Structure 1
C-alpha cells in the first residue's frame, strides 16, 4: 500500500510503489507480447506464410500496438490534464492488463482461422492504447511530488518499470522455455499472459491509495485547467513537443533491437538456444536498473539534459560493436553486447523523466510528455524489428541493421540539444543551479 505522511501526502515509498509497480506491470504486459511475437506468434497466428513472412507478420502485429500508443497518449493525456493523474493511471492498468489476459485465452489460427489474427490485432491495439497513457502519468505522479533538485530521481521510479518489465517477462518465458516445442506452442506461451491478471490487481490496489500532486491541484484550484490540452500544447510549445518526440527515438530503437529482434536473429542466424538468449538479456536488465539509478542521481546534480545527451551519443556508437560481438556466437561476448546496450538505455532512462517534466507546462504536461514519448517509441520501437528483418533479408548482414539503429539514435542526439526548459510553475520553488545546467 502507498503510505502517507502526516500532511496527507503520499510518502516517498508510496510514490515509488505506485509509479514503479504500475509501470513494471504495464511493461511486463507489453514485453511478453514482443517475446511471444518473436518465438511463437508467427506459426500460431500466421501459419500459411513462409518463415520470413510469418515473422514479419508477427512483428507487424507487434508494431500495431505502437500505432495505438500516441492515440492513447493524446486521449488519456487529455483527461489526465483535465481530471487528474490518479484516475487515468488506474484506467491504463485495466486496459492493458485486460487485453493481455484475453490474449492468453485467444484461439489460434488452427482453431478459428482468420479471426485469430484479427482478434490478436484488436487486443494489441487495446494494449497499446492503455500503455500510451501509462508512462506519462507514472512519471508525473512522481516528479510533481518532487522538488526541482530531486526530479530526475523521482522520475526514475517509473523508469525502473521498463527494465523490470523486460526482466519479469523474460523470467516468465524462461520458466516455460524448457518445454518441448509442441508443449510450448500448445499452451506454454499462454502462461505469462494469464499471470498478468494477478499483477494488475496488485497494481490497482497500490494506485488506489494515490492522490494528485499539489502542483496540479493548484492548477485546478485556480480554475486554470486547460480545456483542450493538446491544442494548447501544439500552439504554445510546438518546438519542445517536436524535439522531445525525436529525442525519444533512441532508447526504444536500442531496446527493441535487443529484447525483440535479437530473439529472432540470435536463434535463427547466429544459432543461440532460445533459453540462452533469454537468460543473457535477463542478466543485462540488472545492469540496466543500476544504470538508471546512477544516471538519475547524476542528472539531479549535473542536469538531465546533459546526461541524456551522453546517453544518446553512446546509442549512436554502440550498435555496430554490439552486432559484431553477438555474431561471434560467444555467450560471454553476447552478454557484453547486451550489458553495454543496457547501460546505453539506462543513461537516457535515468535522465528522461526529469528532463521531460521540466520542458512542458503543468497545464498540458501529461499530454506533452506522453505524446512525445509515444511518438518516439512508435518510430524507434515499432519500426525497428520490422526494418531489421527486411534489411537482413535484403543484405544478409547485420551491418545495415546496426547503421539503421545508429542513424535513429543520431536523430535523437541532435534533437535533445534543442529542447528548452520552461520557467517554474507558479508556487513552485526555482532552482538556479538546475536551470543553469539544463539550458
Structure 2
C-alpha cells in the first residue's frame, strides 16, 4: 500500500508552493505585457500609427501570445502526458521568464526601427508558448495529489496565480508610474520586466523539488502512457474538448476586459488617472482571491460543474452594469464594478481546476485541459481588447463592448451545461482499457 506513493512525494505545503508560486510568476510575466501594451507599447513600438491604430497594433502583439498558447499547450501537454508534469513545469517557467526579461532590454522603434516590433512579436510568441503549457501542469500537479472530494480546493492553488499575477504586475507598474512621463517612457516601464529574472530563480528552486503524482506514476509503471496523447484525446473525447474549450472563454473575456482594455478605456475615454485605475484593479484582485477559496470549497461540496455554471451566468449578467458604473467617472463606483467582476471571475476560477481534471482521463489529461484552457483563452482573451477598441471606435459607446462580452459568456454557460452529457468523468474513463495508441513509457 505505502509503495504506491513515492517516498519523495511533496507535502501539501510543497504542492501549494509549487503550484501557486510558479503560476503567479508566469501570470505576472504575462500580465505586465498586457499592462505595457495598454500604457506604452503603442507609442514606443508603433509610433508611425495614429493613437487608436497604435493601440490596436499593441493589443495585436498582445493577442499573438494567445495564438501561441494553444500550440504550447499541445506540445508541452504531449510531453507532460508522456514524460511527466514536473519537467514541463520547469520548462514553462524558463521560457516565459526568459522572454519577459528580454522584453525589458528590447530597443524601441526609435533605436532600431521596424526590428523593434518584430523582436517584440517573437518574444511575445515565446512567452505565449510557455504560458500555454503552464496552467495545465500547475493544475495537475495539485489535483492529481488530491482525493476526488478535494480536487477543486487543490486545483485552486494554481488559480490563485492569476489574480496574484494581476496584483503583482499592477503593483510593479504602480511603483514606477509615479515617475515623470519622460522617465517612465524611457526606462521606467522596463523595470517590471527586468524583475522577472529574480522571480524565475525563486520559482525554479521551488519547482525543482516537485514529484509527479502517484496517479501519473502508476500509469507509467503500468506501461499505459499514451504514445500520442492529443490523438487519443481527439479520438475519444472530441466533444468534451470542444465544450471545455468553449466553457473556458468567459473568465478571460471578463478578465481581460477589466485588466487590459479598461486601462485604455478608463484613461482615454472616461478620464481616470492611470494610477487610480491601477489601484482600483489592484484592490479588486484581493476579492478575487477570496472568492476563489469560497468557490473551490463549494465546488467540492456541490459539484464543480454547478458552481462554474453559476459563475458563467453572472458573467452574462454583469458587463452592461460594469461599464455603466465605470462611465460615471466616480472612483467608488468603478471600484464596485471591478469588485463584482472579480467575484464573477473568482467563482469560475475556483471551480475550473476540479471540473477540467475530472472530465479528462489521466493518459491525455495534461493535453486535454491545457488545450481546452488555452483555446478558450485565445477566443476570450486575445481578441477582446482588440474588438473592444474597434467597437468603441466604430460606435463611440461601451454598450456594443458589453454585449460582446455577454455573448462570449453566454457561449461558456451553454457549453458547461452541455458537459453534463458529453464530459466523461474520471471513473467513466477508467472503465476503458488502454488503446493501441499506448506504449511502454520511455
TM over 0.5: yes
Contact 1:362 1:425 in 2 (8 A): no
Of 417, 420, 425, which residue of structure 2 is paired with 1:422?
425
- Measured on the aligned residues, the alpha-carbon RMSD in Å equals 1.2
For residue 305 of structure 1, what is the aligned residue in structure 2?
A: 305
Contact 2:360 2:429 in 1 (8 A): no
Q: How far off its partner does 1:180 sit?
A: 1.0
Is residue 238 of structure 2 the alignment partner of residue 221 of structure 1? no
The residue matched to 2:178 in structure 1 has which SS?
A: coil
The separation in 2 between residues aligned to 1:185 and 1:145, in whole angstroms, is: 46
For residue 436 of structure 2, what is the aligned residue in structure 1?
A: none
Deviations 1:331-353 (A, max 9, x none): 00000000000000000000000
For residue 240 of structure 2, what is the aligned residue in structure 1?
A: 240
Contact 2:24 2:162 in 1 (8 A): yes
The separation in 2 between residues aligned to 1:427 and 1:86, in whole angstroms, is: 23
The separation in 1 between residues aligned to 2:64 and 2:212, in whole angstroms, is: 32
Is residue 365 of structure 2 the alignment partner of residue 365 of structure 1? yes
Q: Following superposition of structure 1 onto structure 2, how do residues 146-165 of structure 1 map, counting pairs within 5 Å?
A: 146-165=146-165
Q: Following superposition of structure 1 onto structure 2, how do residues 17-56 of structure 1 map, counting pairs within 5 Å?
A: 17-56=17-56
For residue 355 of structure 2, what is the aligned residue in structure 1?
A: 355
Q: Following superposition of structure 1 onto structure 2, how do residues 69-148 of structure 1 map, counting pairs within 5 Å?
A: 69-148=69-148
Deviations 1:255-279 (A, max 9, x none): 0000000000000000000000000
The separation in 2 between residues aligned to 1:332 and 1:53, in whole angstroms, is: 31
The residue matched to 2:332 in structure 1 has which SS?
A: helix
Contact 2:8 2:211 in 1 (8 A): no
Contact 2:150 2:300 in 1 (8 A): yes
For residue 255 of structure 1, what is the aligned residue in structure 2?
A: 255
Deviations 1:186-240 (A, max 9, x none): 0000000000000000000000000000000111011101000101000000011
Q: How far off its partner does 1:421 sit?
A: 3.7
The separation in 2 between residues aligned to 1:409 and 1:75, in whole angstroms, is: 28
Structure 1 spans left out of the alignment, 5+ residues: 429-439
For residue 437 of structure 2, what is the aligned residue in structure 1?
A: none
Q: How far off its partner does 1:171 sit?
A: 0.1
Deviations 1:19-51 (A, max 9, x none): 000000000000000000000000000000000
Q: How far off its partner does 1:425 sit?
A: 8.0
The residue matched to 1:266 in structure 2 has which SS?
A: helix
Q: How far off its partner does 1:418 sit?
A: 1.3
Deviations 1:350-401 (A, max 9, x none): 0000000000010000000000000000000000000000000000000000
The residue matched to 2:20 in structure 1 has which SS?
A: helix
TM-score (norm 2): 0.95
Q: How many residues align?
A: 424
Change in CA separation of 1:371 and 1:357 when aligned onto 2, cut-off 3 Å: same
Contact 1:135 1:158 in 2 (8 A): yes
The separation in 1 between residues aligned to 2:424 and 2:161, in whole angstroms, is: 25
Q: How far off its partner does 1:158 sit?
A: 0.1
Contact 2:249 2:376 in 1 (8 A): yes
The separation in 2 between residues aligned to 1:179 and 1:398, in whole angstroms, is: 31
Change in CA separation of 1:246 and 1:294 when aligned onto 2, cut-off 3 Å: same
Is residue 59 of structure 2 the alignment partner of residue 59 of structure 1? yes
Structure 2 spans left out of the alignment, 5+ residues: 432-442
Contact 2:361 2:430 in 1 (8 A): no
The separation in 1 between residues aligned to 2:9 and 2:72, in whole angstroms, is: 28
